[in-house]
C-alpha cells in the first residue's frame, strides 16, 4: 500500500520531465495577435511594425540566432533591427525570455 503512494508522484514527475524535454523550444518572433481571429491582421501579418520581439530559452539559443531572427523580421518591412531590452513574462513558459528590438528606418 505504501509503495503506491510513492509510485504515483514518481511517475507524474517523470512524465512531466519527458514531455517538457520533447517540447519545441526553438526561438521565434512573437506576435500578440497571431492567434486572434478577430484581429485585422490575422493570417496576413501587419503592414508595418515598429518592434520585433523574439521569444527564446537561454539553454538552447545563442545571441546570434536571436539577432538574426530580429534582423530578418525587420527586413521584411525594409527596416533595421536595433536592440532595445529584455524581459520575462511576455512569452510562454517554455520560451520565457523576450528580446525586444526596435525596427527603424535605415
Q: How many CB atoms neighbour CB 99 within 10 A? A: 24
End-to-end C-alpha distance for the chain, whole angstroms: 70
CA distance 2 to 94: 34
Q: Judge whether 12 lies within some domain.
A: no
Q: Judge whether 53 lies within some domain.
A: yes
pLDDT for res 27? 94
Q: Judge whether 70 lies within some domain.
A: yes
Q: pTM of the prediction?
A: 0.74
**Which residues pair with residue 104 across a beta bridge?**
80
Side-chain-facing half-sphere of 86: CA atoms under 13 Å: 11
Q: Judge whether 54 lies within some domain.
A: yes
**pLDDT tens figures, 14-25:** 666 555 555 668
Buried b (16+ CB within 10 A) or exposed e, 64-73: eebeebbeeb
Q: How many domains does the chain have?
A: 1
Q: Judge whether 59 lies within some domain.
A: yes
Which pLDDT band holds residue 45 (cuts at 50, 70, 90)? confident
Range of the domain at 88: 25-104
Mean of pLDDT values over 60-88: 96
Average model confidence (pLDDT) for the chain?
A: 85
pLDDT for res 19? 52
Residue 38 clears pLDDT 90, i.e. is over it: no
Amino acid at each position: 500500500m505504501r509503495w503506491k503512494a510513492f509510485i504515483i508522484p514518481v511517475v507524474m514527475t517523470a512524465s512531466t520531465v519527458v514531455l517538457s524535454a520533447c517540447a519545441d523550444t526553438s526561438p521565434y518572433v512573437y506576435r500578440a495577435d497571431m492567434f486572434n481571429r478577430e484581429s485585422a491582421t490575422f493570417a496576413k501579418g501587419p503592414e508595418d511594425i515598429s518592434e520585433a520581439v523574439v521569444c527564446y530559452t537561454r539553454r538552447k539559443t545563442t545571441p546570434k540566432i536571436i539577432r538574426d531572427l530580429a534582423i530578418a523580421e525587420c527586413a521584411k518591412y525594409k527596416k533595421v533591427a536595433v536592440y532595445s531590452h529584455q524581459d520575462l513574462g511576455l512569452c510562454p513558459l517554455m520560451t520565457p525570455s523576450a528580446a525586444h528590438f526596435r525596427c527603424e528606418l535605415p
